[in-house]
Structure 1
């Protein structure tokens, strides 16, 4: 059963002052999610070109994109996370345009050496899946 997002984005595990990197942004993303994260952290999101350490990351993922690219993006995003910060893959909900099959994120995460949690509802149209490195508890 999916959990439901809060109004203030605390479910992402980000805190005030955290620098969060955003990967694979496109014009179909849910700006309300971005705004909630920026309000919570009091920092602007940085894009995938940012090359210093960050405190967390979100990856926007849609069906039709190359699954190998998702694995590579997960590896790249994890490489710049400090202290094992939260790493989320955001996907359109089932039934929405671009919704991937449930196994797509699971398989890409496994290929990248990560475990994928149960999806969390983060907006009306998007789910979030928290990833953790194998052997890392929370």
Structure 2
């Protein structure tokens, strides 16, 4: 595993967060956290950025939004519109959804349909942990708000 791992019992953690392309000092807004969210992944992200997460009540402009979303969490388009408020130009949204066969699984086609309605483009999807997939969304340069 990685030589950057700090914990003997969690050597894969920094690798999980590193796969998201996060950097030290980045401000990460977390939305949709619940009991089923992956705490090891959350801790790994905090270790990489060196920052605590901010919530939806922040006054800060954020570099990344982590959106934990399950099928019964409501309308995905609405969720996308809500998170774009605090995202800086060039920022990234990581949509974290349960994997196939897990409670709350979100169809990939639902994500593909909802993203452009909110002005987002999907760029990649990763298997980020045992129970969660991560889909990277960005605001296309031609679709940036001024």
Q: What is the TM-score when the length of structure 1 is the normalising length?
A: 0.85
Alpha-carbon distance in structure 2 between the residues aligned to 1:76 and 1:106: 18
The answer for unaligned runs of 5 or more in structure 1 is none
Structure 1 residue 25 corresponds to structure 2 residue 6: no
The answer for unaligned runs of 5 or more in structure 2 is 1-12
CA RMSD across the alignment? 1.8
CA deviation digits over 1:97-116, x for unaligned, max 9? 11111111112212101111
Deviates more, 1:125-134 or 1:47-56: 47-56
Q: What is the TM-score when the length of structure 2 is the normalising length?
A: 0.81
Alpha-carbon distance in structure 2 between the residues aligned to 1:38 and 1:61: 20
113 and 101 in structure 1: CA distance in 2 versus 1, 3 angstrom threshold: same
User: Displacement of 1:33 after TM fit?
Assistant: 1.1
Match for residue 44 of structure 1 among 25, 47, 52:
52
The answer as to whether partners of 2:29 and 2:55 remain within 8 angstroms in 1 is yes
Report the number of matched residues.
130
Structure ranking higher on relative contact order (CA contacts 8 Å, 6+ apart): 1
The answer as to whether partners of 1:12 and 1:86 remain within 8 angstroms in 2 is no
Say which one has the larger Rg. Answer: 2
